[in-house]
Amino acid sequence: MSIDDALYALAARQHGVFAVEQAKGLGATRMMLRHRVAQHRLERLTRHVLRIPGAPRTQLQQLLVAVLDAGPEAFLSADAAAATWKISGFSLLHLRGRPDVTRPRGTLRRPNTLARVHEVLDLEPDHTTVLNGIPIATPTRVIFEIAASRHPQRAERALDSAWAKNLTSRRLLFRMLDDWADRGRAGTVLMRELLERLSKDYIPPASNLEARFVTLAERFGIGPFRRQVDLGGEAWIGRVDFRHEHRPLVVEVLSHEHHAALVDEATDERRFAALAEAKFTVESIWDHEIWGNYRPAMERIRRAEADLRRPAA
């Protein structure tokens, strides 16, 4: 394979860009790269990053350029990494300012105007990976980075979202806690508190709607609830969103996208009837209530809980 073929193959895996260090690793020299830039066969984006002319300009390309420009061991981290992993509460469309990029301390100390560069000691090999061609913090590490710099509720929601997407696990989170605490990093206390709350059978909320209901239930003093619980004995009724731990109360969080069609309504009615026959009280709360005027719905659920607390006549 010629140098040009090798460079194009590398760029094809990396959103049309590559670092000078990567090119040299393939056998290219700086003189060869300068010659190709002069001939417009390559485009220089920064002193350390080159682009194939005509490659689509995308946000992922911009993020990769910021990482490559920070050095060969740098990786995307914090909010930008959370958005790239599609963790709830973080979006590539809403990223503002320079992305966070982390690299091991003691590597190249060159300036970088494309990113907020952080340097860390004793970076473990399993703290980073590659996603869509971009060196990036693992989802587990991203959660800890968010805990170190964001509101506690955002860290908790990031934890639940990553867990629900199978991007992390209880084992990985506690292993990261050991690594994080050993170095006395910010966010250690918060993450220890969050993880100590998790029971061994903890199930994270599967959606923003469920996470929002958890927040509202705590605010209104309702519960506690268990999430995603299978009900029914020999005849399985179904999996419910929330089951009260002490009362026969079920709360279903419904979205118009998945429950408004006639066939969905019929399915819900059959399931709710089966729950009622099994002596459960079922209360529903819709997405427009969760995100809008939630108080009447939460008061309705609280009254249902209070009614079940009273002894039968």
Q: Which CATH architecture has domain 58-196?
A: 2-Layer Sandwich (3.30)
CB under 8 Å to 262, separation ≥6 — which residues?
none
pLDDT at 257: 60
Cα 177 to chain centroid distance, Å, stands at 17
Q: Cα separation of 116 and 181, whole Å?
A: 23
pLDDT at 266: 66
Q: Cα separation of 310 and 313, whole Å?
A: 9
For residue 75, give the 3-state DSSP assignment: strand
Count the Cβ atoms, other than its own, within 10 Å of residue 166. Answer: 8
Count of CA atoms in the C-beta half-sphere (13 A) of 289? 19
Give yes or no on whether 58-196 and 208-309 have one common fold.
no
pLDDT per residue as tens digits for the range 178-229: 888 877 778 888 888 888 877 666 666 666 778 788 888 988 999 889 888 8
Is the domain defined by 208-309 classed in CATH 3.40.960.10? yes
Q: Which two tokens stand for residue 57?
A: 């300009």
In this structure, are residues 76 and 101 in contact, taking their beta carbons and an 8 Å threshold?
yes
pTM: 0.67
Q: Cα separation of 153 and 41, whole Å?
A: 49
Residues (pLDDT < 70) of the chain are: 107-108, 199-207, 233-235, 256-267, 311-313
* Domain coordinates in residue numbering, the chain: 1-55, 58-196, 208-309
Count of CA atoms in the C-beta half-sphere (13 A) of 250? 24
